[in-house]
Structure 1
Amino acid sequence: MSRQKQAYAYGLSAVLAWSTVATAFKISLAHLSPAQLVLYSTAFSLLSLLLILLCQGRLGELKTAFGQHWRRSLILGAINPFLYYLILFQAYSLLPAQEAQAINYTWALTMTLLAVPLLKQPLKGRDALAALICYLGVLVIGTRGELLTLHFSSLAGVGYALLSTLLWAGYWIFNTRDQREPVLGLTLNFLLALPLIVIWCALSGELRPVAWQGIAGAAYVGALEMGFTFVMWLTAMKLTSSTAKIANLIFLSPLLSLVLIWLVIGEPILGSTLIGLGLILSGLLLQKLPTRNAAAAHAS
C-alpha cells in the first residue's frame, strides 16, 4: 500500500470514529453529568495515550517532558480537556445531538476570527463572508428555522456550544507555538488536567457512584474522541503528500454523524438542522477555496 493510500486509511478511520462521538456523548450523558463524563473520559483517554507511548517505547520520555513543559501542559490541559469538554458536554446535555454537533463544526471559522487579535492576522473579505454564512447556519439551527421570532430551542445550549468552539479554537492557536511532540504533549495535558477535574467534581458534589453504562460510554469517548483517533489523524497527516486531501475528509464527519444520531438515538433529523449544517459547511468550504493569487502561484 502506498503512503498516500495509508494516509487515506488512517484519515478515514479517524473520521469514522469522530462521526460516532456525538451519539456517544448523548448516550453517555443519559447516565452521567457533564462533569462526570469529563472526569471518566479524561481518565480513559490518559490510559489510552500512555498505552500508545508504551507501545512506541517512549514512555520513559514522559518524565523529561514533564520537567521541561509542566507549566505549559497545565495551562493547555486546563483548556483541553477540562474547560472545553465541560462546556461541550453541557451543550450536549441541553441540545439535541444534531444541533450541538452542527454548531461545534464552526470552530475552524472561530479559529480564523481569533487569529486576528491573537496572531495579528488580517481578516480577509472571504473570511468575513464565510463567518456570516456559518453563523447564519447557527441561527437557523438554534431557532429551528424560526429566524423572524428568534425563538431558540435552548439559548443556553447554543451559547455553550459556541463557547466550546471559542475554547477549542483558542487551544489550537496556542498550539501553533507549542514545541512539544504532539502525543507527549497531549498526554501531559491530560495528566495535569485530571487532578483539576477531580477537584472540580469534588467541589460540585459529582464524586459519587455511577452506572456501568456511563463508565462504558466514558471509556468509548475517552479512547475514540480524545485518544487513539488523535494519533490516527496525526499519522495520516504525516503520511500524506497533500494535507488538503486529508483535511477535506473531515467534511464527511457531520453527515455520517447525523445518520448515526438518527439510527442509534432515534432523533428525527429536522429540516432546519440540514439547512443550517449546509450553510455551515458552505461557509467552511468558501474559506478553504484557494484565492486567485494562490491558484496562479500554484499553476506557475
Structure 2
Amino acid sequence: MLLWAFLGLLAKLAAGLPPLQVTAMAMAVGGMLGLGVTMARGRLGRLRQGPLAWFHGVAGLFGYHALYFAALAMAPAVEANLVNYLWPLLIVLLSAPLLGLPLGARRLAGVGLGFAGCALLVGQGAHFPPGAVPGLLCAAAGAVVWATYSVTARRLSVVPTEAVTGFCLAAALLAGSLHLAFENTVPPDGQQALAVLLLGLGPVGGAFFLWDAGMKRGDPRLLGTLAYGIPVLSTMLLLLAGEGVLDLRVGMAALLVAGGGLLASWPGRRSAPA
C-alpha cells in the first residue's frame, strides 16, 4: 500500500505517454524483476500453474488497469477516482460472502470512517455529469474486478506468489498488443523513462507480489480497511512535491482514514476460556 501511494506522483512524472504503453512497460519491468528474483531462488518451476490461476492473475492485473485508464479517459478524474476507490470497501464486504469471514459492527464502522475520509479527499465538487456515466461505470467495474481478484486470491492460496511473475509478463504482453493496435507509441524522455522504471519496481509491478502475499497470509478485512490510506498518502506525496495545497479537507480526511483503520484493527474482546 505504501508503494501504491506513489502511483499518483510517478504517473504525474510519466505524463505524456499513452496509458496502455505505460501499463505494458511498467508491468514488463515488474515481471522482469520477479523473474530475476525467482530464478535466483531456483523457483522458476513455480510459474507453471493451471488455467484458473492464469486467468485469475492476468484478468485481475490487466482488467483492473484497463478499466481504470478507460475511466480516466471518459470521466473527470476526481469523480472516476472516487468511484474507483470503492475497492477497499468492497474487499471488506466481499470477505463475508466469499471467504466466510465475519464483519461485525466495529469493523463496519471502521470501513464507514475510511470511506468518509476517502470521499472527503477526492470527492470535493463531484457532480457526476451525464456524459461521464460510461467512464464512471468503468471505474466501478474496475473496483469490482480488483476487490474480487484480491479476495479470491485467498481461495488460490496454493498458488505461490512467484507465479505473479508470469501474470505480470502476460499482462504486459496483452497491454503491449492493445497499445500497438489502438495507440501511437511515444518514445519516453529521461524523466518519463525513470518514472516508468519506478512504476514497475513499485506500484505497477513490485507491489503486486507484496499484495498477493498479504491477501493470502493476512486478514483481507483489515487490509481492505487500511487501503483507504492510499489516497491520503498519495495526496501527501503530491503536496510535498509542490502539487496542491494542504488544507483542512486533507487533514480531516487523514484523521478519518487513520481512525477507521485503528477502529477496524482494534483487538476485539476475548472470550473467557471454558
Q: CA RMSD in A?
A: 4.2
Which residue, 138, 145, 165 being the options, matches 1:167? 145
1:103-142 pair list within 5 angstroms: 107-142=87-122
CA 1:216–1:160 in structure 2 vs 1: closer, same or farther (change >3 Å)?
A: farther
User: More deviation in 156-165 or 134-143?
Assistant: 156-165
1:51-66 pair list within 5 angstroms: 51-59=36-44, 61-62=45-46, 65-66=47-48
1:207-243 deviation line (CA, Å, top 9, x unaligned): 4233224333221101122444555788999xxxx99
Please tell me whether residue 181 in structure 1 is matched to residue 166 in structure 2.
Answer: no
Give the match for residue 5 of structure 1: none
Which residue, 171, 175, 179 being the options, matches 1:193? 171
Give the match for residue 22 of structure 1: 8
CA 1:224–1:92 in structure 2 vs 1: closer, same or farther (change >3 Å)?
A: farther
The answer to whether the 8 Å contact 1:258/1:269 transfers is no
The answer to whether the 8 Å contact 1:74/1:192 transfers is no
Please tell me whether residue 286 in structure 1 is matched to residue 263 in structure 2.
Answer: yes
Following the alignment from structure 1 to structure 2, what is the Cα–Cα distance between the partners of residues 281 and 152?
27
Gaps of 5+ in 2: none
User: Aligned AA for 2:239?
Assistant: W
User: Aligned AA for 1:210?
Assistant: P
Give the match for residue 202 of structure 2: 224
1:1-300 pair list within 5 angstroms: 15=2, 17-28=3-14, 30-59=15-44, 61-62=45-46, 65-66=47-48, 68-80=49-61, 82-89=62-69, 94-95=76-77, 100=81, 107-144=87-124, 151=127, 163-178=141-156, 179-183=158-162, 185-203=163-181, 205-212=182-189, 213-229=191-207, 256-292=233-269, 295-296=270-271
Higher helix share: 1
TM-score, normalised to structure 1's length?
Answer: 0.69
Q: Compute the displacement of 1:164 (Å).
A: 4.1
Gaps of 5+ in 1: 1-13
TM-score, normalised to structure 2's length?
Answer: 0.74
CA 1:106–1:151 in structure 2 vs 1: closer, same or farther (change >3 Å)?
A: closer
The answer to whether the 8 Å contact 1:40/1:215 transfers is no
Identity level (%): 24
The answer to whether the 8 Å contact 1:142/1:155 transfers is no
